[in-house]
Structure 1
Amino acid sequence: MLDYISVQQAADKWGISERRIQKLCEESRIDGAVRFGHAWAIPKAVEKPADKRKTRRTRDEK
């Protein structure tokens, strides 16, 4: 398990919430993530996936 990190470690590394990491794992957006019971194991070398959520544009951006 030395090549994997926990959800908490990935959240600290990428600067996003643990819940967001869990959702990314559930959506198969993190390559190589493996579920062990209730926990996820995330490969250390994997890059943070792009954020594909929609954002609201302001008037200045139109």
Structure 2
Amino acid sequence: MDYLSAKEVAEKWNISRRRVQLLCEEGRIEGAFKLSDVWVIPKDSTKPADRRKTKKEANE
């Protein structure tokens, strides 16, 4: 399996590196783990849904 760094995933998903790190810390990216001080994320991971959206907005 191929892995990407938080920086590479941030560029791929068009979000900040810090946001990717937070998603990893919260366990919201399946298969991500910390190797020394670096988050390692499976290449085929999908971006988690944004929890800030309400059900009403999602249904529109």
Partner Cα distance (1:53, 1:30) in 2: 17
Unaligned segments of structure 1, at least 5 residues? 56-62
Unaligned segments of structure 2, at least 5 residues? 55-60
Provide the TM-score with structure 1 as the length reference. 0.80
CA-based RMSD: 1.5
Greater percentage in helix: 2
Q: How many residues align?
A: 54
Partner Cα distance (2:52, 2:16) in 1: 15
Considering only CA atoms, is the larger Rg found in Structure 1 or Structure 2?
1
- Structure 1: which 4+ aligned runs deviate by more than 2 Å? none
Deviations along 1:5-61, one digit per CA (max 9) or x if unpaired, are 000000000000000000000000000001011110000001111011257xxxxxx
Provide the TM-score with structure 2 as the length reference. 0.83
